[in-house]
């Protein structure tokens, strides 16, 4: 699957976002080594702190289904009813991704148009926290 196709899957997932409090919708599409794609969207909560980001929904889905090695993640986010813009993953999601993904993981970000910006997880999270 190429970066454009993966980003399209993220944009589709973004349409399922439950974001009545922030009005900011996010979709993620995580490509496993098996070739399977796991999507996620942000799911907010009236109590705020239980809110889960799109990226973590996607990775938790994947790991819970037995896949724990990944090659790329695409992310699209933005205000409701506006074109998907760049939405770099938050710090918590970077740390969660780093538990399972290599520093070379491609992070494909929507750019507000038809294109994408591609970074690596290592560039987004140098010196990740790890035990020992
Ligand atoms: N959000 C994500 O889904 N992913 C991120 O990496 C950053 C933020 C969500 C959480 C919340 O529902 C909304 O965006 C505004 O913070």
- Listed residue (78, 7, 60, 67) closest to 35, CA to CA: 67
Domain that holds residue 8: 3-124
44 is catalytic: no
132 lies in some domain:
no
| DSSP class per residue in 83-131 | --B--PPPHHHHHHHHHHS-TT-EEEEE-SSS-EEEEEHHHHSTT----
Angstrom distance (rounded) from CA 39 to CA 41: 7
Residue nearest to atom 10 of ligand 1 (CA): 53
Give pLDDT, residue 82. Answer: 84
- pLDDT of 113: 87
Tens digits of pLDDT across the chain (132 residues): 899 999 999 999 999 999 999 999 999 999 999 999 999 999 999 999 999 999 999 999 999 999 999 999 999 999 988 878 889 999 999 999 999 999 999 999 999 888 999 999 999 999 999 998
* Ligand 1 atom 13 nearest Cα: 24
> Could you give the CA distance from residue 10 to residue 72 in angstroms, rounded to a whole number?
12
Task: Please report, to the nearest 10 degrees, the dihedral formed by the alpha carbons of residues 118, 120, 126, 128 taken in order.
Answer: 120
Q: Is residue 131 domain-resident?
A: no
Catalytic residue among 44, 55, 67, 82: 55
Of 27, 42, 43, 93, the one to substitute when testing ligand 1's pocket (max ligand atoms within 8 A of C-beta) is 42
**CATH assignment of the domain containing 74:** 3.40.140.10
pLDDT at 109: 97
**Looking at the domain assignment, is residue 130 inside a domain?**
no
Domain assignment present for 99 = yes
The answer to whether residue 110 is domain-embedded is yes
Domain count, the chain: 1
Residue 56 lies in a domain: yes
Put simply, whether the predicted model's pTM sits higher than 0.85 gets the answer yes
Ligand 1 centre to CA of 15 (Å) is 14
């Amino acid at each position: 699957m190429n970066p454009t196709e993966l980003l399209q899957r993220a944009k589709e997932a973004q349409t399922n976002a439950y974001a009545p409090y922030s009005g900011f919708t996010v979709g993620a599409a995580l490509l496993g080594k098996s070739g399977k794609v796991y999507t996620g969207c942000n799911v907010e909560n009236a109590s705020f702190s239980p809110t889960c980001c799109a990226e973590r929904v996607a990775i938790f889905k994947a790991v819970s289904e037995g896949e724990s090695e990944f090659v790329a993640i695409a992310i699209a986010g933005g205000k409701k009813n506006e074109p998907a813009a760049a939405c770099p993953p938050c710090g918590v999601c970077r740390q969660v991704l780093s538990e399972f993904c290599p520093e070379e993981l491609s992070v494909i970000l929507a750019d507000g148009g038809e294109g994408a910006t591609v970074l690596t997880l290592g560039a987004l999270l140098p010196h990740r926290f790890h035990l020992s």
